[in-house]
Amino acid sequence: MLLKLLNSTSLKANVIANFVGNGWAALLGFIFIPTYLKYIGPEGYGLIGIFASLQVLLSLLDSGMSTTLNREMSRLSAFSSTEQKMRNIVKTLGSVYWLIALFAGFVGLILSPLLAKYWVNPNTLSVQTITYVFCLLSVTVVFQFPTGLYSGGLLGLQRQIILNILRITFATLKNLGAVIILLFISKSLLIFFSWYLFISIIQAFTYKYTLWFYLPKTSQRTFFDKQELKNIWRFAAGLTVIGLTGILLTQVDTIILSKILPLEQFGYYTFAFTLGSISYMIVGPISQSYFPRFSILLAEEKFEELTRIYHQGCQLVTLLVVPFALFLTFFSKEIIFIWTRDHHIVENTWKITSVVSLAVAIHCLMYLPYMLCLTYSHTKLALYTNTILLIVLIPSTIYAAINFGGLGGAVCWLIITIVYLCINPILVHKLFLKGEVLKWYWNDTLKPILGCIIILVFFRFFLLANQFDTYITGCILFFIGMASFFATYFSSQELKIKGFKKL
């Protein structure tokens, strides 16, 4: 029974597994944020935020190979006699990926002293300490890159249950280990980030050997195949440029604010951004599960089934992302206080959290249309759209950040995502699913959202008109969250009980 479960490749099992794995990792990370703030301080947590932004920027060096490997594994698994080709692709991309990872780590090491001295604005931490932390994190990047590649391979093979077992294991080791170190061993930032590095090394090699274990076995020798690299380089290169522009769209405010704000204030912004971005943890498992299925259905030329599965996935994104994100948008002040019991943190974070949560929710709605583009190997639309938006976003964010701080940067990003939502779906559906755009806007998106908003607006005015103690407020918030979820669900045409059975 256990072996059958581990080897399951059904869409329903994959969605559930991805939610459990990503959800557990996100839960651990969010539970311990107040602990991190307490023991390493806002400045130390600000360093985590800066590292996260730098890591995202450096990830453009992966040349889109993680997504490319995902697509190739899922596409080739639909055909017979492709076992050797699959193994050669993993060998080829893996070799290139490790070289890129080493280069990224080297760049990070070179830049660490400069970033510590000229970029951040610390009040209590020394430049030397910050330099050592950036060096540790640069080496950590070397091992986190390959982990992403091997995850893509396991996703493409639809071995998502075992992948999420690994995610749960390493997320637990990373977060619980870090907290134990802070509580019982040392509050040193260097020891804290050394633990991150240690876990990243073990994780990278575990993921590597797990992917090779699940690849089809052959009697021939696996080798580096230059021809396969030539066959996929255009798609991978397109993803690289899209990744660069997409990263800038989502991270430009963080990058600019890390320079403009004092490190302590940037730590609070990082807190707000992390909380507001939790919807990415929700949409990730869905896109990871649906993208391989899109690729298989296209390879088998099952276009009607592809259309049905696509709309089903889009409504699933709306159902799971929108109620949570809008709930956080409307009630961020109450939620943050119940969580932290710290009025100072609340006053420095709740407005930014609300704006970021709404912007992230809108961005999440565009994940499956983007995956549809990648299924058809089309990268130009995303590239052109991102480039145009960036031309507007970068100067406006700089102006807003200088004059209005973190909230100004967050508002700029929200405006950009709204424009993105109004334009991009029309172009995507015109190219790949003609006649389906109105169904996407109304059935998949707007109708479920309207039901959710009505519930949340009503209770927002109810809470404003009444004062309750913390316990009562928590119970009311739980009820509001459930009500908004069911309002969204009953407005989702494809996701009634019959729809779930077809997963």
185/272 same-domain check: no
Most confident of 228-237, 280-289, 299-308: 299-308
Residue 215 lies inside a defined structural domain of this protein: yes
Q: Is the pLDDT of residue 68 over 60?
A: yes
Distance of CA 328 to the CA centre of its chain: 18
Q: How many domains does the chain fold into?
A: 2
Q: pLDDT for 169-179, tens place per residue?
A: 998 998 888 88
Count of CB atoms within 10 A of residue 117's CB?
A: 12
Question: What is each CA distance from 62 to 83, 102, 141, 252, in whole angstroms?
Answer: 24, 11, 12, 19
Structure pTM? 0.66
- Categorize the per-residue pLDDT at 3 as very low, low, confident or very high, splitting at 50, 70 and 90: low
Domain that holds residue 404: 257-503
Q: pLDDT for 235-283, tens place per residue?
A: 666 666 666 666 666 666 666 777 777 767 777 887 788 788 888 878 8
Look-up: residue for tokens 């669900």? Answer: 489
210/325 same-domain check: no
Q: Is the pLDDT of residue 224 over 60?
A: yes
133/272 same-domain check: no
The more confidently predicted of residues 61 and 480 is 480
Residue where a domain terminates, one of 204, 224, 244 = 224
Q: Is the pLDDT of residue 211 over 70?
A: yes
Mean pLDDT of the chain: 80
Write down the pLDDT at residue 198.
93
Q: Is the pLDDT of residue 165 over 80?
A: yes
Tokens of 147: 């982990």
Residue 452 CB partners (closer than 8 Å, separation 6+): 322, 323, 326, 484, 485, 487, 488, 491
Residue 236 lies inside a defined structural domain of this protein: no
Q: pLDDT for 70-103, tens place per residue?
A: 777 877 777 777 778 888 888 888 888 888 788 8
307/426 same-domain check: yes
The secondary element (H helix, E strand) that includes residue 261 is none
Residue 138: closest CA among 157, 163, 111, 161: 111
Mean pLDDT of 221-239: 71
Q: Is the pLDDT of residue 389 over 60?
A: yes
Type of residue numbered 286: I
Residue 188 lies inside a defined structural domain of this protein: yes
Write down the pLDDT at residue 205.
93
Mean pLDDT of 217-229: 77
Write down the pLDDT at residue 210.
92
Write down the pLDDT at residue 113.
87
180/277 same-domain check: no
145/265 same-domain check: no
Q: pLDDT for 183-201, tens place per residue?
A: 888 888 888 889 889 999 9
312/438 same-domain check: yes
Q: Is the pLDDT of residue 365 over 50?
A: yes
Q: Is the pLDDT of residue 62 over 70?
A: no
Write down the pLDDT at residue 371.
84
Look-up: residue for tokens 């890129």? Answer: 100
The rounded percent of the chain whose pLDDT value lies above 70 is: 84
Q: pLDDT for 430-464, tens place per residue?
A: 888 888 999 999 989 998 898 889 889 888 887 76
Write down the pLDDT at residue 63.
47
Q: Is the pLDDT of residue 109 over 50?
A: yes
Q: Is the pLDDT of residue 500 over 50?
A: no
The more confidently predicted of residues 139 and 61 is 139
Q: Is the pLDDT of residue 326 over 90?
A: yes
Write down the pLDDT at residue 342.
79
Q: Is the pLDDT of residue 359 over 50?
A: yes
For the chain, the distance separating the N- and C-terminal CA atoms, rounded to the nearest angstrom, is: 21
CA distance 457 to 366: 24
Q: Is the pLDDT of residue 221 over 50?
A: yes
Q: C-alpha angle with apex 413: 407 to 419, nearest 5 degrees?
A: 140
400/500 same-domain check: yes
Contact 104, 145 (CB under 8 A): yes
Residue 245 lies inside a defined structural domain of this protein: no
- Categorize the per-residue pLDDT at 9 as very low, low, confident or very high, splitting at 50, 70 and 90: low
Q: Is the pLDDT of residue 327 over 60?
A: yes
Write down the pLDDT at residue 265.
74
- Pick from 8-12, 320-324, 358-362: least confident: 8-12
- Categorize the per-residue pLDDT at 142 as very low, low, confident or very high, splitting at 50, 70 and 90: confident
The more confidently predicted of residues 426 and 233 is 426
Residue 157 lies inside a defined structural domain of this protein: yes
- SS3 sequence of 128-183: HHHHHHHHHHHHHHHHHHHHHHHHHHHHHCCCHHHHHHHHHHHHHHHHHHHHHHHH
Q: C-alpha angle with apex 20: 440 to 287, nearest 5 degrees?
A: 30
Residue 244 lies inside a defined structural domain of this protein: no
353/476 same-domain check: yes
- Categorize the per-residue pLDDT at 203 as very low, low, confident or very high, splitting at 50, 70 and 90: very high
The more confidently predicted of residues 173 and 340 is 173
Mean pLDDT of 229-239: 68
Contact 66, 149 (CB under 8 A): yes
198/342 same-domain check: no
316/171 same-domain check: no
Mean pLDDT of 91-119: 82
Residue 444 lies inside a defined structural domain of this protein: yes
Residue 438 lies inside a defined structural domain of this protein: yes
Write down the pLDDT at residue 497.
43
Write down the pLDDT at residue 87.
86
189/272 same-domain check: no
